[in-house]
Amino acid sequence: MNNTTAEGLFSTADNNIKNMFFFVGITELFEESLFTLFDMLGIQETLMWRPGLYTYWRPTKDEMPIRLRKKLSAMLEADLELYHSNRHILENMLEKSNFGDELIRYKQHARNPYNRLYLELSERFPVAAETFGYFSEVVDKEFRHSRALIRNIQGLSLGFQVTRAEREAQKHLESGKRGPAFRAKALLLSCKMLFYKTLNKFRCR
């Protein structure tokens, strides 16, 4: 590579993208990129994507020292220019496409962690069964792991309900109110707390 300046690197990368790629998506606009690509290909239904948790943690921009951010910006000048250039192209394509409420609903659906978990489990069972057999050891393990996961989620949910009931009862006691209505609600909250504690106790057996 002859020209290693920021301008030269940007020009080379920009030409490669224009001449060698049909479409370039943007990670921060992932759902928008999917909708745009599928629209270009004539695909009517945008199926839900599955996340890959390859980066468990990374520092945010605000967590990085200013000195380090400036150094990185200087080193990645061509990369940043390329990013902003292609993001601008995608944003113009989105403006013309006008996906509207359909894209908003899709993004809300995609970002819901409980929905993602359900989709993950619902896809794993049939795939494992078709690949390894319905009565294989692999499928048995999938069932055991899923049941253990469901029990753990139930435990977390019940534990949180107990804590919330305790805090609600404490808040009621600290309110300073008295009288028949106060006593009735205090009794109701005590019963509610006892109910969740009993459920949690039976679950742990």
Give residue 56's pLDDT. Answer: 47
Q: Do the beta carbons of residue 93 and residue 35 sit within 8 Å? A: no
Give residue 6's pLDDT. Answer: 74
**Which pLDDT tens digit goes with each residue over 55-102?**
545 677 778 888 888 888 878 888 888 999 999 999 999 988 878 888
Residue 201 has pLDDT above 70, yes or no: no
**Which pLDDT tens digit goes with each residue over 18-41?**
999 999 999 889 999 999 999 999
Residue 199 has pLDDT above 80, yes or no: no
In percent, how much of the chain has pLDDT > 70? 84
Residue 204 has pLDDT above 60, yes or no: no
**Which pLDDT tens digit goes with each residue over 102-111?**
888 888 888 7
Judge if pTM exceeds 0.75: no
